Chain A
Amino acid sequence: KAGVTQTPRYLIKTRGQQVTLSCSPISGHRSVSWYQQTPGQGLQFLFEYFSETQRNKGNFPGRFSGRQFSNSRSEMNVSTLELGDSALYLCASRGPWRTEAFFGQGTRLTVV
């Protein structure tokens, strides 16, 4: 069974630009969550999608948004990038009625 796949693995963007990250969950998993990981703040929850609906949201500004498609693939968008948005963005998927979250390898975003 293929794991969680995130693309791209690395990105360099300029301040003010926007970026879209993609996540394909494990087959059969309908819940997809996104996390931001930085050395200073650790792993922080961004949002969770289930069946194309946002089910939960963390404490991030509105510049961070996401969506989920009917095949459970999810995208995360960050608009008007700031230097502080440089981080490893992780996506995780969960199976039906399960609590174990399985992570992808992450997308390393660098804002210059």
Chain B
Amino acid sequence: GQQLNQSPQSMFIQEGEDVSMNCTSSSIFNTWLWYKQEPGEGPVLLIALYKAGELTSNGRLTAQFGITRKDSFLNISASIPSDVGIYFCAAYNQGGKLIFGQGTELSVKP
């Protein structure tokens, strides 16, 4: 079935560093969504991407919809301690179900 492969699984970085994570698949998608989840909470939508090649920013976050429509990238610039959490990519499969990557767990050392 359609799967989203997210990497890296975890990252330990110093405050102030930039972060990059990505999501790839063998399938084509029409929409990519990026979420952040903190412990005990539901995922919060960060960025939505609708068009191949699209680059969208939300504060220090920037996400791109891959030109092949099979991948997406999320970058966080100048990380701060409150960026800690698990970041998920998500996309709708052919059946209309929202599927998720395995998540990237981000730890930021002050």
Chain A residues engaging chain B, CB cutoff 8 angstroms? 4, 6, 33, 35, 42-43, 45, 48, 55-56, 58, 90, 92, 99-106, 108
Chain B interface size, as a band, is: 20 to 34
User: How many contacts A-B (CB < 8 Å)?
Assistant: 50
B77 to chain A minimum Cβ distance, whole angstroms, is 23
Chain B residues engaging chain A, CB cutoff 8 angstroms? 31, 33, 35, 40-45, 48, 50, 88, 90, 92, 95-100, 102-103
- Closest B residue by C-beta to A105: B42
Q: Contacts A99-B92, A100-B33, A100-B48 given; indicate if A45 touches B97 (C-beta within 8 A).
A: yes
The contact sample of 13 A-B pairs, CB cut-off 8 A, is: A4-B42, A33-B98, A35-B98, A43-B43, A45-B97, A45-B98, A56-B97, A99-B33, A103-B35, A103-B44, A103-B45, A104-B42, A105-B40
